Amino acid sequence: MTTIKLQNTRTRKKEVFEPIDAQNVRMYVCGPTVYDRAHLGNARPVVVFDVLFRLLRSEYGADKVTYARNFTDVDDKINARAAERGRPISDITAETTQWFLDDMGALGALEPTHMPRATAYISEMIAMIEDLIARGHAYSDGAGHALFSVKSYEEYGKLSGRSVDDMIAGARVEVADNKRDPMDFVLWKPSNDDQPGWDSPWGRGRPGWHIECSAMARDLLGASFDIHGGGNDLMFPHHENEIAQSCCANPDGEFANVWLHNEMLQVEGKKMSKSLGNFFTVKDLLDQGNPGEVIRFVFMQTHYRKPMDWTEEKAKQAEATLRKWRALTAGIEPAASAAAAVMDALADDLNTAGAVAELHKLASAGDAAGLLASAQMMGLLGAEMGAWADGPSVDLTPFADLFFAARQTAMETKDFGEVDRLKSTFVEAGLEVRMSKTGVELVPGPGFDPSKLEALT
């Protein structure tokens, strides 16, 4: 069995992973708030923890790993979107939830074992809040709010490594008259007639954001479970608050033993932003002709704890590599198991970049069976992901030879008119022209249209 080591955010150490129960390895990952299409940054933790899910299933057995990822379907952003579009909130959440599942499925992500919706766990949230109040860790302001008392939990701030004073200074903390302390956070808040609401001991209202994950994780995974994951933007305040309320409500539990956080995503070296014009949803990239498998492969080439930069050049290179690997493994049965070097890389704190390097070595060595088994373990080269690479079957060798001959003639005559004409035709058809001293390679890109080459035959 491969020894898995993971960088635990809470201890700041790379630790050997030892599950609480090897017969039921449990992982919780914070999911999306469903009011719009998932952007490219939303997809990174999905792919990261999908790879971990696959690794755990490979090591412990597919039926011995439980993975929960939630949907936040009660939120002020959802309310605003529903009002903006004049549609029922339930319609908005149902539609955007399916969008998310479709888009992540296109990236080859397996569906988690459980995908709980916050609105299905309101009673569990109310029960947890009541328990926190009874234990002296929360209080009601008498006006429809229930709030968690941060000072009642001495370990607050250990995950992010910051003191409460630092967190107050470095964050936008709402200072309200109903708070006993500026850091106290909302567990329950009142709803007006236009907002979704449920009856509670504090009046008609709806849950705060943080309580939902604690309630759902406890119900599905227990008071103590193995791994909690998410983007590092959630470390404070969301994950700090989850730990505080969960540990206070379950003093005999540990909540999550291991915390994993992925770094953020950039586009062409800059933070993704609508104002910069580099904001993409996953659907945008798919509609632009970027195959889901290619997007997934680009993600895997950067370690999850490092910032990832999405570029068009990386996407082109990833597509070319996957085409070559699919050609190499066509008609081949995969090996009985993934290559040991690939598994060792993944087991070393989910080093997907190292695993990809090992895939390149397998391809270079001509080990098609080992390449296929290893890539499929990582969610690549599966038959269900390969339709994009099938495309029209066109032998591009004659066109490459034609271009090479024209280039040789042009070098002698100094007339590059024919070379330019051919290259323009190839580019318009969706081919990338790669030239070297010894030959020409024509690489189909997204939207390759062979009909545009007919004029050359």
**Whether residue 101 sits in one domain with residue 10:** yes
In order of 149, 310, 318, the CA distances from 291 in angstroms are 48, 14, 10
Same domain, 216 and 319: no
Please enumerate, as own/partner, the contacts of 176-184 that have beta carbons within 8 Å and a separation of 24 or more.
Answer: 178/141, 178/143, 178/145, 178/147, 179/147, 180/139, 180/147, 180/149, 181/149, 181/150, 181/151, 183/150, 183/151, 183/156, 184/147, 184/148, 184/149, 184/150
Q: Residue 2 is which amino acid?
A: T
User: Same domain, yes or no, for 155 and 195?
Assistant: yes
Average pLDDT over residues 410-425: 90
Residue 326's pLDDT band (boundaries 50, 70, 90)?
very high
For the ranges 219-233, 359-373, 390-404, the lowest mean pLDDT is seen at 390-404
Judged against a pLDDT cut of 80, whether residue 391 lies above it is answered with: no
Range of the domain at 239: 5-262
Dihedral (CA of 215, 220, 221, 227) sign: negative
pLDDT for 283 equals 96
- Angstrom distance (rounded) from CA 307 to CA 72: 25
Mean per-residue pLDDT over the chain, rounded: 92
SS3 state of residue 241: helix
Task: Find the length of the chain.
Answer: 457
Is the pLDDT confidence value at 344 over 70?
yes
Under the banding of pLDDT at 50, 70 and 90, the label for residue 168 is: low
Lowest mean pLDDT among 10-24, 185-199, 398-412: 398-412
Which residues are bridge partners to 138 per DSSP?
148
Residue type, 336: A
- Residues 244, 275, single domain; the answer is no
Last residue of a domain, one of 243, 262, 281: 262
pLDDT of 171 higher than 60: no
pLDDT the model gives residue 439: 81
Q: pLDDT value at position 339?
A: 98
What is the pLDDT averaged over residues 239-245?
A: 97
This prediction's pTM: 0.86
Say whether both 103 and 231 belong to one domain.
Answer: yes
CATH number of residue 119's parent domain? 3.40.50.620
Q: How confident is the model at residue 455 (pLDDT cuts 50, 70, 90)?
A: confident
Residue 328, pLDDT above cutoff 70: yes
Residues 97 and 13 in one domain: yes
Query: Does 437 score more than 80 pLDDT?
Result: no
pLDDT at 131: 98
Average of per-residue pLDDT across 101-125: 98
Name which of 199-213, 227-241, 435-449 the model is least confident about: 435-449
Residues 247 and 271 in one domain: no
Q: End of a domain among 368, 390, 412?
A: 390
Inform me whether the pLDDT recorded for 151 exceeds 70: yes
Sheet arrangement for strand 185-190: 138-140, 146-148, 185-190, 205-207
Mean pLDDT of 338-352: 98
Whether residues 35 and 179 fall in one domain? yes
End-to-end CA distance of the chain: 56
Q: Residue 319 and residue 386: Cα distance in Å, rounded?
A: 11
- Residue 2 DSSP one-character state: P
Domain identity same for 117 and 230: yes
Which residue do the tokens 């898995």 mark? Answer: 4
The verdict on 282 and 358 lying in the same domain is yes
Residue 186 has pLDDT above 90, yes or no: yes
Question: Do 249 and 297 fall within a single domain?
Answer: no
Q: Using the predicted structure, report yes or no on whether residue 199 has a pLDDT greater than 60.
A: yes
What mean pLDDT comes out for the span 243-261?
Answer: 97
- Looking at 262, 294, 315, the residue that finishes a domain is 262
Number of domains in the chain: 3
Note the pLDDT of residue 271: 85
pLDDT value at position 454? 83
353/327 same-domain check: yes
What lies within 8 Å, CB to CB, of 448 at 6+ separation is: 391, 392, 429, 430, 431
